[in-house]
Amino acid sequence: MYQLTKEERNGVYKAIFNRRDIRSFLNIPIPDDKLYNLLEAAHRAPSVGFMQPWNFIIIKNDEIKKELAKIVEKERRALAIHYEDTDRELKFLDLKIAGIIEAPVTICVTCNPFSGGDHVLGRNSIPETDLMSVSCAIQNMWLAAYAEGLAMGWVSFYKKSDVRKILEIPYHIDPIALISIGYTDNYPDRPLLEIHNWEKREQLNRLIFDNKWGTNEVRTGLSD
């Protein structure tokens, strides 16, 4: 088969465990070769029936970034209304927006449900596997960003129709993520939402069942 060295194996787990969703970036450009490494990593993701339903719109233009930030800000304000009566700390929501302006590169990742033709193997049974494939590509990109010493943030506060209009994306294409990429001097060791007491990490043991839903055996050896 194959065998990673101990250090290579550590690299995989370090990337998986330390990857964070970053919202503040330094005003330093990203070398193209590093950016392409991220996109290559994304493109090597699994896809149902090998349909490769992803496209990547690389946005460096400041005017377009401002337009995107504007519609994200609109959505953030609309969203905040639903949290008015809660005691959850909302300040950090602001961070979510600044990233798009600060980061030297924004990538709009899209999903094309028609990229594999009429009968994509496996997608006939579960149509949303196209979206799942693109999500795997985004995760690859995130881990590659970590490997390159870059920070990445995934913004999902927007109306797709607004993003389609700004980036001239056809109706049949789904803009599923706005990704900020850049360097940062603010790389937290835990998820932002955990630091801000928004949510806690679940105990893994409680998320695992044995043979049937709802059946928990006693388990040792798990970190949580």
Task: Report the residue from 30, 32, 103, 179 that binds a second copy according to the rule CB under 8 A.
Answer: 32
25 binding a second copy? (CB under 8 A): no
46 binding a second copy? (CB under 8 A): yes
Task: Report the residue from 27, 28, 33, 172 that binds a second copy according to the rule CB under 8 A.
Answer: 33
54 binding a second copy? (CB under 8 A): yes
195 binding a second copy? (CB under 8 A): no
Which structure tokens are listed for 3? 């065998």
Among positions 110-169, residues that touch a second copy (CB under 8 A) are 110, 116, 119, 121-126, 128-129, 131-136, 138-140, 142-144, 146-149, 151, 154, 156-160, 167-169
CA distances from 99 to 14, 32, 73, 144 (A): 24, 20, 11, 19
2 binding a second copy? (CB under 8 A): yes
Task: Report the residue from 14, 29, 114, 161 that binds a second copy according to the rule CB under 8 A.
Answer: 14
Query: Shortest gap between Cβ of 173 and a second copy (angstroms)?
Result: 7
**Three-class DSSP category at 217:** coil
| 214 Cβ contact list (under 8 Å, min separation 6) | none
201-205-211-213 Cα dihedral, nearest 10 degrees: -50
The maximal CA–CA distance of the chain, rounded, in angstroms, is 56
Which structure tokens are listed for 180? 């900020």
